Structure 1
Amino acid sequence: MNKKQNKPEMQYHVTVTRRDEAHATAQARQHTLSLNIKKGDGDAGFNAAETLLAALGACILTNVNSIAAKMRLQIDEARIEFEATRCDEPPALTRISYRLIVRSPEPEEKLRQLHQLAVKWGTVTNTLINGLEPAGTLAIKPE
């Protein structure tokens, strides 16, 4: 339990299954996402880095929607364009930059505040900022 809010923590369940050398499927609830798991093959779907950027974009846009509603702001269009730089050794994204593009009749000051709050209250944004280290185990199935 989160002691600050006294609410149960939200849990997420995602299963990623290898289909063949190039393809995997991620499943959550009743939804599926096709993923590329073959290095250097961009034809099989989003690779892991692109999936991370898409998750970051979904996080920010989710908050743009919900916070704009709370602030009673009209947002006619919103999209995020990402650029990221990867190094090879060790493999990691070393830079992520984005541009949030909105079409809205609202004052610029309110839109800037919306942007700041959307990033501040994002699950994925805070996870990336805080550098969470995933914990995992290996389970070997008998043949």
Structure 2
Amino acid sequence: MFQQMPMVKIDGMKLVQTRAILNYIASKYNLYRKDIKERALIDMYTEGIADLGEMILPLTKNRYFPAFEKISESNGQDYLVGNKLSWADIHLVELLYYMDELDSSLIFSFPLLKALKTRISNLPTVKKFLQPGSPRKSLMDEKSLEEARKIFRF
């Protein structure tokens, strides 16, 4: 449609635009909730996670990780919004994996984020997806990582 990627074929449709794809999948699999207040929190957290993904690493560690750690601590639940998985949790864990590939020490001082990553990684479908030979591919190889380190001077 917009001559771009990613493009997903699902339920007889061709969807483009990452957020449109994620919104559709989250709604389809009840990861977006029906309660308007919970939905607002999920939107707020996913937008924060999207911002986090666009930040330079030192700002990421010092600004956003503490915020998500505090959210996890203050709500006393297993997930960011209540005790039910949402796409905000999945989005955050995806970013945690990405950051872990860049520098595994980045989330060292955030035990609740590490626990969230472990909890979601142990869900049967996620665990299967993370296994060697699955469709998941590493985000960066050594050459790309070195290039990023030079660009961002870390």
TM-score per shorter chain, which class? under 0.3
Query: Greater helix percent: which structure?
Result: 2
Greater relative contact order: 1 or 2 (C-alpha under 8 angstroms, separation 6 or more)?
2
Query: Greater strand percent: which structure?
Result: 1
Higher Rg of the two aligned structures: 1
In the superposition, the TM-score normalised over structure 2's length comes to 0.26
